[in-house]
């Protein structure tokens, strides 16, 4: 099959923050814009992954819509990329079952995500993970990487853009693909056409862009931080952005200089300014030299940072509110149209595999 198949997923957690955007999502748009005519891109709102943790049903519907609108707003184009919701393509869970029959409990037990999300120790044993004083470890959370492998393999994906935090899960998906290929490519199906197997999906690691909390630059910017001033959402208004940057924690050293160790707050703001429009500058140093040469104060520096964020996010914000102003049924219908296209590809993969398995 010619061309690349690029797949990635995003949890329906609502409007992304600058860390999500610069660290992950902007890469998706870049891949779309650089894609050749033989390449395919599929971007999936992974709502079935979301329910591995407790969710309020109404809030989940709303944040799924917000997530979809955000993907369109940042520049993903439903005419060029297939954008859809996981629950609308039933084959995800079907393939998951088939993969589950090949997934090693021991391998899954060594993964870190179920431990961190269920609040268990790094050396926790899944078989002993239901201590009387703790909520029981749920099967869905434990087997999350199997569903993720199914998401990827279902589309015969060749490339997966992800952050460093997902590299472990990608390795597991390749392991599963290998195991399936090893077992079923040799089997003789009733059609006599041997199964071609899964391509082994390659990781495209997002360029390292760690955006730190505006209130505590020792921590990364995160949606789970209880202080909303610690992050900028890609739909924040100019007023809100200016206020959050003005209140960002910096230091009392005179002037502007870049030092991630000694001046993490200032350096984070300069990084953000650089990342917002990398085409405008040759390097971070260029920004810093310009500011220190002009004896720029902290206040002026913050104004310039806020301005660059506002400029970059303005068109995103505008598109976002255009989409959210549409009738929710129409937006949901547009998502289902993506699922129809994704579903065709998913079905052909699953049909071939099932045939190879004698199902």
CA angle 271–273–277, rounded 5-degree value: 110
- Please tell me which residue in 30, 62, 223, 243 is annotated as part of the active site: 223
Give, as ranges, the residues between 223 and 252 that touch ligand ADP (CB under 6 A).
223-224
Which residue, 96 or 211, has its beta carbon nearer to ligand ADP? 211
334, 286 contact by CB (below 8 A): no
Could you say which DSSP state residue 25 is in? Answer: I
Contacts of 282 (CB under 8 A, 6+ apart): none
Which residue, 220 or 243, has its beta carbon nearer to ligand ADP? 220
From 17, 12, 14, 15, select the one nearest 231 (Cα to Cα).
17
Q: Which of 210, 229, 347, 354 contacts ligand ADP by CB under 6 A?
A: 210
In what side-by-side order are the strands of the sheet with 5-10? Answer: 82-85, 40-45, 5-10, 159-162, 202-205
Could you say which DSSP state residue 258 is in? Answer: -
Q: How far is the CB of 220 from ligand ADP (least distance, A)?
A: 4
**Residues written for the chain:** 359
From 328, 314, 343, select the one nearest 68 (Cα to Cα).
328
Which residue, 10 or 146, has its beta carbon nearer to ligand ADP? 10
Residue whose beta carbon is closest to ligand ADP: 23
Give, as ranges, the residues between 4 and 33 that touch ligand ADP (CB under 6 A).
11, 19-20, 23-24
- Does residue 219 have an active-site annotation? no
Q: Does 312 bind ligand ADP (CB under 6 A)?
A: no
Backbone angles phi, psi at 7, to 5 degrees: -130, 140
- Does residue 354 have an active-site annotation? no
- Does residue 220 have an active-site annotation? yes
Residue 298's Cβ-side half-sphere holds a number of Cα atoms within 13 Å equal to: 14
- x/- map, 162-191, ligand ADP, by CB under 6 A: xx-x--------------------------
Q: Which of 111, 173, 180, 211 contacts ligand ADP by CB under 6 A?
A: 211
Q: Which residues bind ligand ADP (CB under 6 A)?
A: 11, 19-20, 23-24, 162-163, 165, 209-211, 220-224
> What are the residue numbers of the active site?
117, 220, 223
């Amino acid at each position: 099959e010619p061309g690349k198949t690029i797949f990635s997923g995003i949890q329906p957690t609502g409007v992304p923050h600058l860390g999500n955007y610069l660290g992950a999502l902007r890469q998706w748009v870049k891949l779309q814009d650089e894609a050749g005519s033989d390449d395919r891109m599929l971007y999936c709102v992974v709502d079935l992954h979301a329910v591995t943790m407790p969710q309020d049903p109404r809030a989940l519907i709303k944040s799924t819509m917000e997530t979809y609108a955000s993907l369109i707003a940042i520049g993903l184009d439903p005419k060029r990329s297939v954008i859809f919701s996981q629950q609308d393509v039933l084959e995800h869970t079907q393939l998951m079952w088939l993969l589950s029959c090949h997934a090693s409990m021991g391998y899954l037990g060594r993964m870190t995500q179920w431990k961190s999300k269920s609040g268990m120790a790094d050396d926790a044993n899944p078989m002993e993970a239901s201590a009387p004083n703790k909520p029981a470890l749920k099967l869905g959370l434990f087997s999350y990487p199997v569903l993720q492998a199914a998401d990827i393999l279902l589309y015969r994906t060749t490339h997966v853009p992800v952050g460093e935090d997902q590299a472990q899960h990608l390795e597991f998906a390749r392991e599963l693909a290998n195991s399936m290929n090893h077992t079923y490519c040799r089997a003789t199906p009733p059609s006599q056409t041997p199964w071609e197997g899964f391509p082994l999906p390659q990781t495209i690691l997002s360029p390292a862009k760690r955006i730190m909390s505006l209130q505590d630059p020792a921590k990364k910017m995160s949606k789970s931080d209880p202080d909303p001033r610690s992050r900028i959402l890609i739909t924040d208004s100019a007023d809100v952005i200016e206020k959050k940057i003005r209140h960002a924690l910096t230091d009392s050293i005179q002037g502007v200089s870049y030092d991630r160790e000694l001046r993490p707050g200032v350096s984070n703001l300069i990084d953000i300014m650089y990342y917002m429009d990398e085409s405008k500058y040759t390097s971070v140093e260029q920004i810093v030299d310009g500011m220190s040469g002009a004896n720029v104060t902290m206040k002026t520096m913050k104004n310039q940072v806020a301005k660059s964020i506002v400029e970059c996010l303005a068109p995103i914000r505008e598109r976002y509110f255009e989409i959210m102003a549409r009738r929710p049924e129409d937006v949901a219908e547009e998502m289902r149209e993506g699922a129809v296209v994704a579903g065709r590809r998913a079905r052909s993969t699953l049909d071939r595999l099932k045939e190879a398995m004698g199902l």
